[in-house]
């Protein structure tokens, strides 16, 4: 009986140690400031972070999310209204093995993140404008590290439940620089200073999937890898990244039925024209 009691106590101790290990760090501080027209979010943790946590961004609704592994929420609240610059509010949601920080934005913006001891700084700024093609806008989705070799490991295409086309790119690391822009009717994704294996230099014909995407072409462009996505019809796209997986979704957009019902409808007073007994020259 005594052995069973000791064994039970030991198991409880192991469970406690596992729970403590699962939440080895804590988010203790949070503040927002304006610096040079940019919004800077400072996150303070109990222990220094080894690197920037995995993060991803979506454009509809515009949000940026960071996943802090083995971290608890020590702020005592799960949401905070901000209302500074492009940042509307912040949500901090604790799960079993991580805490997710969500920045709710007024519109999609580019962001940079860095770690300085116990502080992580997130800088929000407007998307930059491309100088290479008139009328094309380039959004810096993720800043890359020039001292690290980047590569694309795989490119896959899938159809989502809502009929969206989902392009999934497996990256070699989480610090690959990515630019996204719309060029004409196409979506162009640039993976900066990234290598591409020979077997992935190809053009995928995905018309049979029944999504807004016709083709996905991936090829080398100088030191970068360029991906050109050719959609059809009316569509919108969003992009996000989780760890080393980059995902771009192209969703179909249905036409507004209210506008379609008004097509051919005219307003104003009716006008009657009588051309009887009128010379042809007078009419012309």
Assigned domain for 240 exists:
yes
Domain assignment present for residue 225? The answer is yes
Question: How does pLDDT run across 173-228, given as a tens digit for each residue?
Answer: 888 888 888 888 899 999 999 999 999 999 999 999 999 999 999 999 999 999 99
DSSP H or E stretch at residue 17? helix 2-22
Of 126, 154, 185, the domain-final residue: 126
If asked whether residues 78 and 188 sit together in one domain, one would say no
Condensed to tens digits (0 to 9), the pLDDT of residues 80-119 reads 898 888 899 999 988 878 898 999 998 888 888 889 999 9
117 inside domain: yes
Whether residue 33 is found in the same domain as residue 150:
no
Q: Is residue 272 part of a domain?
A: no
CATH number at residue 60: 2.60.40.3500
How crowded is residue 138: how many other Cβ atoms within 10 Å of its Cβ? 20
Looking at the fold, whether 89 and 74 belong to one and the same domain comes out as yes
> For residue 210, what are the domain limits?
127-257
Same domain, 207 and 233: yes
The overall pTM is greater than 0.75: no
Q: Are residues 93 and 116 in the same domain?
A: yes
Q: Which residues pair with 250 in a beta bridge?
A: 165, 237
Residues 172 and 103 in one domain: no
Is there a single domain that holds both residue 144 and residue 44?
Answer: no
For residue range 213-261, list pLDDT tens digits in order: 999 999 999 999 999 999 999 898 888 877 788 889 999 987 655 544 4
Last residue of a domain, one of 126, 153, 185: 126
> Do 171 and 253 lie in a common domain?
yes
**Which segments of the chain does DSSP mark as H helices, in order?**
2-22, 257-261, 280-283
Residue identified by tokens 């990256």 is 171
Domains identified in the chain, total number:
2
The pLDDT of residue 188 is 92
153 and 229 fall within a common domain:
yes
Euclidean distance between CA atoms 80 and 29, whole angstroms: 12
Residues 112 and 159 in one domain: no
114-160 pLDDT tens trace: 899 999 999 987 644 333 344 445 566 666 777 788 999 999 999 98
For residue 247, give the CATH number of its domain.
Answer: 2.60.40.3470
């Amino acid at each position: 009986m005594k052995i069973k009691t000791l064994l039970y106590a030991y198991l409880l101790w192991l469970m406690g140690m596992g729970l403590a290990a699962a939440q080895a760090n804590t988010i203790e501080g949070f503040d927002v400031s304006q610096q040079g027209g940019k919004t800077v979010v400072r996150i303070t943790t109990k222990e220094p972070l080894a690197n920037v946590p995995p993060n991803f961004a979506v454009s509809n609704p515009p949000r940026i999310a960071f996943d802090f592994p083995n971290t608890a929420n020590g702020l005592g609240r799960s949401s905070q209204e901000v209302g500074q610059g492009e940042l509307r509010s912040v949500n901090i949601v604790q799960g079993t093995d991580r805490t997710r920080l969500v920045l709710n934005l007024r519109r999609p913006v580019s962001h940079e993140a860095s770690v300085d001891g116990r502080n992580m700084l997130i800088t929000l700024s407007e998307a930059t404008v491309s100088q290479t093609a008139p009328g094309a806008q380039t959004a810096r989705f993720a800043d890359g590290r020039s001292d690290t070799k980047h590569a694309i490991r795989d490119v896959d295409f899938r159809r989502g439940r809502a009929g969206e086309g989902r392009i999934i790119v497996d990256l070699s690391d989480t610090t690959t620089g990515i630019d996204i822009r719309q060029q004409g009717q196409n979506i162009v994704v640039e993976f900066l200073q990234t290598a591409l294996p020979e077997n992935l230099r190809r053009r995928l014909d995905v018309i049979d999937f029944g999504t807004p995407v016709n083709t996905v072409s991936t090829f080398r462009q100088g030191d970068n890898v360029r991906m050109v996505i050719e959609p059809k019809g009316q569509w919108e796209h969003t992009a996000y990244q989780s760890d080393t997986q980059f995902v771009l979704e192209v969703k179909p957009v249905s036409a507004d039925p209210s506008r379609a019902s008004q097509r051919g409808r005219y307003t104003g007073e009716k006008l009657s024209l009588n051309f009887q007994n009128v010379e042809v020259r007078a009419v012309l």
